[in-house]
């Protein structure tokens, strides 16, 4: 196997409308040393027919990964792919792919070059993650926003491993990880909110790099499991005005989930002999009363001030 081999991890579920276009964009990459590993979550449309047709022409370059327990959702579907790549042990890097996006031709080459630079300085045994911006498009690939980060009022480069414990700034479909991070991330614990968020906070034990150039056309349509939403102040105040109790409930639920996910990370790092003190410090701070957290909340919560304050006042362990 090539020393530059990348495993592209493609999770599918009823993706027949856009799947072929996504696969074609992966096949058109300027970096051609890759395999496509596919795990299907029990599709009832033509997804499997499309995959079988491509497997006939691509042979070993497209691997249909058996999934004995479908129907458990996105996180477990991607975990199945991550486990398969780890078991095979032939690829040094893994790139995550959604079924409905379109990759720009240089996507793999650019992220792999950034990964190589990190590993040259840190070594292959350090968990590393590279992710990029995206161009938000509609179902016909008409551009809605040239930058997903700006559209979402995000600044991924400004986030540390500590602040990622509260807010995810890593979009999974742009993400490449190395084998060291894959090993540390698996198995994905039940407390993980999303597979990409889990990988993002695991990268706090190593290195994470954000590339500002969009490498993916991020398609938005009615069936997106996770999508781009307008996070402008006016829109968010309107949501609070029209659905105040629902907004507050979702904020509290997310607060509990982030605390549990951080606890899972603390256990994982401790069990693997990795320094977990920063995560333990964060959890200890989260356990304090809100009036004690008020003085230092900007250190732990990055982002718009309204978000920061709502987390400080409404998040409990």
Q: For residue range 111-168, what is the model confidence (pLDDT) as tens digits?
A: 999 999 999 999 999 999 999 999 999 999 999 999 999 998 889 998 999 999 999 9
Average pLDDT over residues 281-308: 88
Residue closest to 11 by CA, chosen among 180, 166, 175, 254: 175
Residue closest to 98 by CA, chosen among 60, 148, 32: 148
Based on the number of CB atoms within 10 Å of its own CB, is 181 exposed (0-12), middle (13-18) or buried (19 or more)? buried
Measured CA distances, 22 to 1, 19, 104, 106 (Å): 25, 5, 10, 14
Segment (H or E) for 309? helix 305-314
Domains with residue ranges and CATH for the chain: 6-219 (3.90.550.10), 233-314 (no CATH)
Q: What is the pLDDT of residue 241?
A: 59
Based on the number of CB atoms within 10 Å of its own CB, is 58 exposed (0-12), middle (13-18) or buried (19 or more)? middle
Q: Which structure tokens are listed for 115?
A: 């990964």
All residues at 6 or more sequence positions from 148 whose CB lies less than 8 Å from its CB, including other chains: 133, 134, 135, 136, 154, 171, 214, 218, 228
Q: What is the pLDDT of residue 232?
A: 56
- pLDDT, tens only, 174-218: 999 999 999 999 999 999 999 999 999 999 999 999 999 999 999
Average pLDDT over all residues of the chain: 92
Q: What is the pLDDT of residue 237?
A: 61
Q: Are 211 and 130 in contact (CB under 8 A)?
A: yes
Average pLDDT over residues 248-253: 85
b/e code 248-268 from CB counts within 10 Å (16+ = b): eeeeeebbeebbbbbbbbbeb
Q: What is the pLDDT of residue 251?
A: 84
Average pLDDT over residues 50-63: 97
Q: What is the pLDDT of residue 184?
A: 98
Q: What is the pLDDT of residue 302?
A: 85
Q: Which structure tokens are listed for 139?
A: 């179902």
Q: What is the pLDDT of residue 313?
A: 83
Q: What percent of the chain has pLDDT over 90?
A: 76
The values of phi and psi at residue 247, to 5°, are -65, -45
How sure is the predictor about 246, in pLDDT bands with cuts at 50, 70 and 90? Answer: confident
Q: What is the pLDDT of residue 61?
A: 96
Q: What is the pLDDT of residue 295?
A: 84
């Amino acid at each position: 196997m090539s020393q530059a081999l990348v495993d592209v991890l493609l999770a599918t579920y009823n993706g027949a409308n856009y799947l072929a276009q996504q696969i074609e964009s992966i096949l058109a990459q300027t970096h051609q040393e890759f395999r496509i590993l596919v795990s299907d979550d029990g599709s009832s449309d033509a997804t499997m027919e499309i995959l079988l047709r491509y497997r006939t022409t691509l042979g070993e370059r497209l691997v249909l990964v058996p999934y004995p327990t479908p129907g458990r959702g996105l996180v477990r579907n991607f975990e199945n792919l991550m486990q398969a790549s780890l078991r095979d042990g032939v690829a040094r890097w893994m790139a995550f792919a959604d079924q409905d996006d379109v990759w720009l031709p240089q996507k793999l080459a650019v992220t792999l070059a950034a990964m190589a630079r990190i590993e040259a300085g840190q070594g292959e045994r350090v968990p590393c993650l590279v992710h990029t911006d995206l161009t938000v498009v509609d179902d016909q690939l008409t551009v809605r926003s040239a930058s997903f980060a700006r559209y979402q009022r995000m600044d991924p480069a400004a986030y540390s491993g500590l602040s990622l414990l509260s807010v995810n700034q890593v979009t999974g479909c742009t993400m490449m990880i190395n084998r060291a991070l894959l090993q540390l991330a698996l198995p994905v614990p039940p407390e993980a909110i999303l597979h990409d968020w889990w990988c993002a906070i695991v990268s706090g034990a190593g290195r994470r790099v954000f590339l500002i150039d969009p490498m993916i056309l991020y398609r938005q349509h009615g069936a997106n499991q996770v999508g781009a939403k307008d996070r402008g102040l006016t829109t968010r105040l309107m949501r609070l005005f029209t659905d105040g109790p629902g907004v507050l409930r979702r904020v509290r639920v997310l607060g509990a989930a982030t605390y549990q996910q951080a606890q899972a990370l603390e256990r994982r790092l401790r069990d693997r002999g990795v320094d977990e003190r920063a995560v333990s410090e964060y959890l200890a701070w989260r356990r304090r009363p809100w009036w004690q957290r008020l003085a230092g909340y900007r250190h732990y919560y990055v982002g718009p001030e309204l978000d920061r304050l709502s987390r400080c006042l409404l998040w409990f362990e």
